[in-house]
Amino acid sequence: MRDTRESRLLLVLLIAIAFALITVDIRGGQESPVDGARQAAAAVFGPVENGVAAAVDPIGNAIGAVRDSGERHTRIAALEKENAELKAELGSDDRNRNRLRELDAMLKTAGAGQYGIKGAQVIAIGAAQGFSWTVTVDVGARDGIKRDMTVLNGAGLVGRVTTVGPSTSTVLLANDPDFTVGTRMEKSDELGFATGQGDGPLLVQLLNGKAKVKEGDRLVTFGSSGDKPFVPGVPVGEIVRVDPAGGGLTRNVYVRPYVGFTKLDIVGVVVQAPRSNPRDMVLPQKPKPAPTVTVTVTPPPPDGQQAADGQKPNENQQGQDQGDATP
C-alpha cells in the first residue's frame, strides 16, 4: 500500500481502535465483551501453537542437553584430573619403594666389601665429554668426590668417575667401549681385563690362554694401585660364553654384567677403599639346587604268577576249612 494521507489516517484509526479494545478488555475482566472473540481465536490458533511448541521442544531439549553435557564434561574432567593425581601419587610411592630397595641393596654390598661410599642419584644420561655410555650424578667436589673413584650399586660395578664439578660428576659406565677394568675369577683367581661393548656382554681377555672356565663362572674387580680407579672385590658379572682355546697367549670370554646400565637410579661413589681385599665376599650367594625327587615304581608281577599266587591262599583256606570240620 502506498504511503498516502488516507493510509496514514487508516493506520491511526486502527491503532486507536486496538487501544480501545485493550482498555475495554482489561476493565471487563472475565465478563469482557471480547472474551468470546478471544476463545474463538484460541480455538483456531491453539493447534497451530501446539504444533509449533512440539517442533520447538526438541531444540530446547537439545540445548539443555548440550548445557548439561558441558556440566558433565566439567565433572568428568575434574574426576580424570583427580584420578591422574592419585595415579601419580601411587607411582611416586612405587618409585620410592624401588629406590629404598636399591638403597638397601647398595648398603649391603658396601657393607660386605667394607667400602666407604657416598650415595648419589643419577640425574642425567650422556655427558659433556662425548662418551657413548655416561651418566651424571648429583654429587661433586663439595661432597668429597674426586676423579677416578669407583662407582657401584647394589648389583655390582657401575663405572668410574671421569669428571668432577662442584656439585655433579660424570661417570663412565662399565659397558662403554672405552672402559677397561682388571678382573679376577672367583675361586680360580684367573686374571683378565674386561672391556665394555655397549649393549652386548663385556669382553674379558684372560691372561692365561689355557684357563679352565665355563658358563656361570663369576668375576670381580681385581683392584688398582692405590685403589684408583678401582677398588678390589666389586662384582662384575658372570660368564655367558667361552671362546674355544686357540693356543694363544690369552683367552676370550663374554660376561653378562650384573648391573643394568639402562635403568640406573641410586648409586654409590667409593670414597674410602676397604682395609683388606674382600675377594669373593661381595658376590651374592649362589642359589642352592633344588632337591631331586626320586620316584620308585614297582612293576606288577606277570599274569600267570598272579593267578598262581591267587590260588595258594584258596588252597590254604580250603585246608583250614577241612581241618576245622574234622572231629
Domains of the chain: 100-272 (2.40.10.340)
Contacts of 250 (CB under 8 A, 6+ apart): 192, 205, 206, 207, 208, 209
DSSP state of 42: H
pLDDT tens over the chain, length 327 residues: 555 667 667 776 777 676 666 665 555 555 555 555 545 544 444 454 445 444 545 544 544 444 444 555 566 677 667 666 666 655 567 778 888 899 999 999 999 999 999 999 999 988 555 557 999 999 999 999 999 999 999 999 999 999 999 999 999 999 999 999 999 999 899 999 999 999 999 999 999 988 899 999 999 999 999 999 999 999 999 999 999 877 778 889 999 999 999 999 999 999 999 999 999 999 988 777 666 666 777 777 766 555 555 554 454 544 444 445 444
pLDDT in the model for residue 13: 73
**249-252: long-range contacts at Cβ-Cβ below 8 A with a sequence spacing of 24 or more?**
249/207, 249/209, 250/192, 250/205, 250/206, 250/207, 250/208, 250/209, 251/205, 251/206, 251/208, 251/209, 251/210, 251/211, 251/213, 252/203, 252/204, 252/205, 252/206
Nearest to 113 by CA among 286, 273, 287: 273
pLDDT in the model for residue 235: 97
Interatomic CA distance for residues 214 and 205, integer angstroms: 14
Interatomic CA distance for residues 157 and 181, integer angstroms: 10
In contact, 236 and 217? CB cutoff 8 Å: no
Interatomic CA distance for residues 20 and 38, integer angstroms: 15
Interatomic CA distance for residues 324 and 319, integer angstroms: 9
- pTM for this prediction: 0.62
Supply angle C-alpha 271, 128, 227, rounded to 5: 25
Name 255's bridge partners. 202, 239
pLDDT in the model for residue 72: 56
Write b or e for each residue in 22-48: b if 16 or more Cβ atoms lie within 10 A of its Cβ, otherwise e. eeeeeeeeeeeeeeeeeeeeeeeeeee
